[in-house]
A and B are shown apart, each in its own frame.
Chain A
Amino acid sequence: MSDSRMSTRGDRLIRLADGGRILSTEECEAIARRVFDAAQGGGETRVGISSWWQGELRWARNRVSLASDRRDIRLRVTRIVDRAVGIVITNQVDDVSLAAAVRAAERSAQLQPQFVGSAAFYPPRPSFETPETAIWSDATDHLTTEGRGEVARALVGPAEEKGMLSAGYLEVRTQSRAEFTSAKAEASALPEWPYVACTQAQCSMTVRDQKGAGSGWAGLSGYDWSAIDPQALAARALEKALASRDPVALEPGRYTVILEPQAVCSLMDLFVGALSREPIETVGGGPFWLAYDDALKLNRTKLGLKVADERVTLSHDPADHALGVVPTPDMLPLDRVTWIDRGVLTQLSMDRDYALRALSENRGAHRPIAFRMSGGDTSVEEMIQTTKRGLLVTRFWGTRLLDNGSVLATGLTRDGVWLIENGKITKAVKNFRFTESPLFVLNSLDALGPAVPVFRPVASPYDVQLTPAIVPPLKARDFSLTSLVDAV
């Protein structure tokens, strides 16, 4: 960061000037060098710098309740002195504060075990290429407070005109991260881990009628704000709210269901986390654990076995512009991976360390933090037309796992469920609690629609990772709806 944009007084919080929302690579490097300068007396110094900016807009009952514009930086100073590690985190980067952080890290190191390099042999760490992924959008970075206000006006207006109540959340976020070590400070390649910057955007809204008798929802997230059409979302939420008013009670039971992509994503999220090889093979259990092999004394997975309908493929390609993820040191290398290929479990994620230990292979397979589920060519309208009696579900809410082995889960339908009779939507129905396994659903498929991006924002606001998903709508048989729920 240049001095002109930074206060050098030691008694004040340092704030980034308007304009640069996050630190640039040169600014990060300059801070790292100043930390290295402050660290005297030998040892190694590591600096991790992240910066973020976030613009938010929240509205409820057709009125904006929050409009924020926040930014901060996070500086992690690690001092390795006399084989002990001390770590201090600060967001103050003036000279006095940096020196204080370094001293504090050194004091902390004095209290820590002397592990580093203690009679141990360190081979050099291997390096990997960093894949190019689509994670930056100027449209996201440039959406100003005023711009977000205009968007809100466009989102709230249609609902208000119809006498409906609108509530929602819009967020754009930009963040960067870089890591440096003094061990390489003299070399040309200063960064320990290269500078990376990414953007996130999300917009979701709920529209309800004044009596609370109908509700509609629409949302979308991704790295690129320009790929999100807020007017379309508003129209969709309003349309669903209007159509879901005055629902009738329907007997719980097993129904043919048409799940819109958002509902499918909720089900997929219940088991994609279990697509991890190490816990299955070291501990056992989970939906992709097959059995314990008494002869070989090891846990067998379902790799190579059919686990879903053959129309289902679950994959991720970092080069896919709609599925960009942020490369991180622990998930190297980042390759294209197909976990389920035409219904067959072909890959389980594993980090490189496990790949080395179990397979003597130098490459792992990353976790499904982002994924694409294959789709079909049947539109939702066609699915409805071919349904004699069934339900159309907008999305699920409050889903949680009941049984890890079978992925039996429960949750509620929400924001619009409609009864389909003889190829037509006939009436809105009350919400249900479901008790079902996504793996059963993926083995009871009637039809798949075109896969589309869904609302799957980053779970933690402090996580520098993107979690996009592309998921199709689907039609499945015998979906278990176990009780009625009064909520809309």
Chain B
Amino acid sequence: MLRNDHAHDHCRSHRVSTRAYRRSGGLTTGLAVSVALCLGAGSATGQTRFDWPTRAVDLTSYGTVEECLAATERVRDSVTRRENEGLLRDTMPFDPQTSPLSAPTPAPITETAHRCAQRFTEAATRLTDWAMLLPLYLAAGRDEDAASLIARRLASVGPAAAAERAAVMDTAVKLYVDAFPARLAAAEKLLEEHARIGPNALLGLTSYVRLLDVAEQVRDTVRARWAVEQIIARTANLTAAERRSAGYDTVRGAVLVALRWLNRGALRDSLRLSTASYVALVRHTLATTAGVALEALPFIPIGEQAPAIQGDFWFGGADPGHPRPTPGRVALVVFLDPSGCLSRTPLYTTLADHCWSQIALIRRLTERFPALEVTIVAHTIGHFGYVPPPTPAQEADLIHEWLTAHRLSAGLVVTTSDFWRLPDPDRRRIDRPTANRVHYSFGNHWPVETGSKFIIDQNGTIVATSFGLSESDYVDIIDTLLHRAGTGT
């Protein structure tokens, strides 16, 4: 009896101390441990098991719109990071269905935003907070309040303040299309109802560019086409001075994309007809975008004859006796810079992400088009990863082994780089450009970088470069080249 009382006292004192130690929410755990100890459980079973702490965000201390938005973004960051662990998305084909731009917002994000934003009634909030309140409303799913807020903000702009109005519109559209999921319909409605073409056609153009960008990403072709038409309409009558302005510089690329988008069918048809007609149409599109005559267009290598690849070490079916690109075959020539891509180990994951996405793209193309002749062009740089400096032959072998490990069944041509060194004590190795780089740079008019790609038709004419091409563009062009009748030039 005495022994039992003693045991009871021990249990009570232990429970009290446990509760005191874990004041915040540890009562259940403390009791469980105490009960386990009182029941005389063995040491292993008596151990406190690890439990995940509650993940609900404590919003009591968040009083401002900014703090609520920050809390929401932290939850979003946490959710996104957890979902992205272990997945290098940029090595996979883009899937609009799984993109956060079109997928529903995960519940923890919506729930946090909803709880925190409850105190902010739309009509009672200050307009100075509107740019932060809008994404909070969108994250909380309060789209009607978001629309009212924008309307209230636009109403506060004076009728003569066109620039301010355009800026508000641009911000609103940006927040709409950057939201998860993107509110493309709301952005389009907003632009349809409020955007007007004024004397300055460039004003507000970025709103359509943003809409086009995201609409393309989520494969919303109807909305993308609408944005393209708006962009073309607004830029069609730009003066030469306006086309040379800094404002136009920021949207020039988007205008080119819009024109190509609009001419996609025509471009494909022209390529089916011949490379020459395709090149002519592309050049015309570029000239239209730049607002210059065809003769004044900067150099682009499409339509040029592809130089023959030279090299010292040939792998993967490439043969020095049969120079590439092989006449009569559709070819893809890819320059990979050893220092920026090849030889990188997974220790350099962040540096190598871009490289891996390149490798993944090439691999998908080789698998999809077995008839395509793919040639990787590389050069020696005097080192490979962390191994002691190899000879050029060893380095070429290592590069080949690295590509093989990436399951890339393409031809590989490696050139021994000529180099010189800065005088002592600097001693840095300076590689001279290889003949392949020089030739494909066309007199430095088109500097070759790592990842530069050239699609070449059966007659050795360069049809496209990697500039501005998406994966679907590669597929379209290569497919058309492989299936068109005759030589097509």
Whether both chains belong to one complex is answered with yes
A123 touches B386 (CB 8 A): yes
Contacts of A10 in B (CB 8 A): 43-44, 47
Known: A111-B85, A125-B386, A126-B387. A120 touches B346 (CB 8 A): yes
Which size class do A's interface residues fall under? Answer: 35 or more
Contact B406 A119 (CB under 8 A): yes
A-side contacts of B406, CB under 8 Å: 119-121
User: Residue A487 at the B interface, CB < 8 A?
Assistant: no
Q: How far is B428's CA from A359's CA once the two chains are assembled, in angstroms?
A: 5
**CB proximity of B183 to chain A, nearest CB, Å:** 32
CB of B430 within 8 A of chain A? yes
Contacts of A358 in B (CB 8 A): 428-429
- Quick one: CB contact mask for A330-369 with B, threshold 8 Å, 1 for yes? 0000000000000000110000110011111110000000
Question: Which of B86, B386, B423, B425 touches A356 (beta carbons < 8 Å)?
Answer: B386
Tell me the B174-196 residues at the A interface (CB within 8 Å). Answer: none
Determine the residue in chain B with the shortest Cβ distance to A360.
Answer: B382
Q: A10-B43, A296-B430, A360-B383 are in contact. Are A346 and B86 (CB under 8 A)?
A: no
* Cβ contact of A11, chosen from B46, B384, B388, B423, cutoff 8 A: B46
Q: Roughly how many angstroms separate A296 CA and B382 CA in the complex, as a whole number?
A: 18
Residue pair B346, A116 in contact (C-beta under 8 Å): yes
Say whether, besides A11-B47, A112-B85, A113-B85, A123 and B425 are in contact (CB < 8 Å): no
Q: Does the CB pair B382–A123 fall under 8 Å?
A: no
Q: Which residues of B contact A301 (CB under 8 A)?
A: 426
Residues of B within 8 A of A116 (CB): 346
**Are A359 and B388 within 8 A (Cβ)?**
no
Instruction: Answer yes or no: A385 CB below 8 A from chain B CBs.
Output: no
Q: Is the CB of A122 within 8 A of B44?
A: no
Complex CA–CA separation, A125 to B347 (angstroms): 13
Task: Say yes or no for A291: interface residue by CB 8 A criterion.
Answer: no
Contacts of B424 in A (CB 8 A): 304
Most B CB within 10 A of own CB, among A119, A352, A356: A119
Task: Look across to chain A and name the residue whose beta carbon is closest to the beta carbon of B425.
Answer: A303
A121 x B402 contact (CB < 8 A): yes
Segment 382-441 of B: residues with Cβ below 8 Å from A? 382-389, 398, 401-402, 404-407, 423-430
- Does A115 contact B384, Cβ atoms closer than 8 Å? no
Provide the bound-state CA to CA distance between A232 and B346, in Å: 54
Q: Please tell me if the beta carbons of A121 and B401 are within 8 angstroms of each other in the complex.
A: yes
B residues in contact with A362, CB < 8 Å: 388-389
Look across to chain B and name the residue whose beta carbon is closest to the beta carbon of A124: B387
Whether a CB of chain A sits under 8 angstroms from the CB of B339 is yes
- Tell me whether A117 is interfacial, beta carbon within 8 Å: yes
A123 cross-chain contacts in B, Cβ below 8 A: 384-387, 398
Contacts of B80 in A (CB 8 A): none
Q: Once the chains bind, are A9 and B389 in contact (CB under 8 Å)?
A: no
Known: A11-B44, A121-B401. A356 touches B428 (CB 8 A): no
Judge whether B428 and A126 touch: CB under 8 Å.
Answer: no
> Taking each of B339, B386, B389, B406, which has the highest tally of chain A beta carbons within 10 Å of its own beta carbon?
B386
When chains A and B are docked, how far (Å) is the Cα of A148 from the Cα of B43? 39
Give residues of chain B (414-472) contacting chain A, Cβ–Cβ below 8 Å.
423-430
B345 part of interface (Cβ distance < 8 Å): yes
Q: Which residue of chain B is the closest to A298 with respect to CB atoms?
A: B428
Q: How many Å lie between the Cα of A11 and that of B362 in the bound state?
A: 55
Q: Secondary structure at chain B's binding surface: helix, strand, loop or mixed? A: loop
User: In the complex the two chains form, is B389's CB within 8 Å of A112's CB?
Assistant: no
Asked if A359 contacts B427 (CB within 8 A), the reply is yes
Report if A96 contacts B (CB, 8 A).
yes
Any B CB within 8 A of the CB of A39: no
- B87 within 8 Å of A (CB atoms): yes
Q: Say yes or no: B427 contacts A361, CB within 8 Å.
A: yes
| B389 in contact with A356 (CB, 8 Å) | yes
Give the residue name and chain of the B residue nearest to A355 (CB). Answer: B383
Q: Check if B349 is an interface residue, CB within 8 A of chain A.
A: yes
Contact B386 A353 (CB under 8 A): yes
Mask: chain A, 41-64; 1 = CB below 8 Å from B; 0 = not: 000000000000000000000000
User: Is A118 an interface residue, CB under 8 A from the partner?
Assistant: yes
Please determine whether A360 and B429 come into contact, CB atoms closer than 8 angstroms: yes
| A301–B385 CA distance with the chains assembled, in angstroms | 25
A114 at the interface (CB under 8 A from B): yes
Q: Which of B82, B346, B425, B429 contacts A304 (CB 8 A)?
A: B425
Task: Give Cα A111 to B81, complex, Å.
Answer: 11
Nearest residue, chain A, Cβ from B387: A123
Residue of A nearest to B427 (CB): A359
CB distance from A347 to the nearest CB of B (A): 7
Chain B window 20-62, contacts with chain A (Cβ cutoff 8 Å), 1 for yes, 0 for no: 0000000000000000000000011011000000000000000
Give every chain B residue within 8 A of A120 (Cβ-Cβ). Answer: 345-346, 402, 405-406
A119 touches B407 (CB 8 A): yes
CA distance A84 to B398 in the complex (A): 25
> Complex formed: what's the CA distance from A240 to B88 in Å?
64
- A 295-316 binary contact with B (CB < 8 Å = 1; else 0): 0101011011000000000000
Check A11 against B43 for contact (C-beta < 8 Å). yes
Pick from B47, B381, B405: contact of A121, CB under 8 Å: B405
Contacts of A304 in B (CB 8 A): 423-426
A347 / chain B contacts, CB cutoff of 8 Å: 425
Residue of A12, A84, A296, A357 near B339 (CB, 8 A) is A357
Closest approach, in angstroms, between the C-beta of A218 and any C-beta of chain B?
Answer: 39
CA gap between A10 and B406 in the complex, in Å: 46
Given the complex of chains A and B, what is the CA–CA distance between A159 and B430 in angstroms?
64
**A126 CB to closest chain B CB, in angstroms?**
6
With A10-B47, A360-B382, A361-B389 already in contact, 16 other A-B pairs whose C-beta atoms are closer than 8 Å: A96-B43, A111-B85, A112-B86, A113-B86, A113-B87, A119-B407, A120-B345, A120-B402, A121-B401, A126-B388, A301-B426, A353-B386, A357-B339, A358-B428, A360-B383, A362-B388
Would you give 25 A-B contacts (Cβ < 8 Å), ordered by A? A10-B47, A11-B46, A96-B43, A96-B44, A112-B85, A116-B346, A120-B345, A121-B398, A121-B404, A121-B405, A123-B386, A124-B387, A126-B387, A296-B430, A298-B428, A303-B426, A347-B425, A356-B386, A356-B389, A357-B339, A358-B428, A359-B427, A359-B428, A359-B429, A360-B429
Binding site for A on B (CB under 8 A): 43-44, 46-47, 82, 85-88, 339, 345-346, 349, 381-389, 398, 401-402, 404-407, 423-430
**8 A-B pairs with the lowest CB-CB distances in the bound complex, closest first:** A360-B382, A11-B43, A121-B405, A113-B86, A356-B383, A121-B402, A115-B346, A123-B387
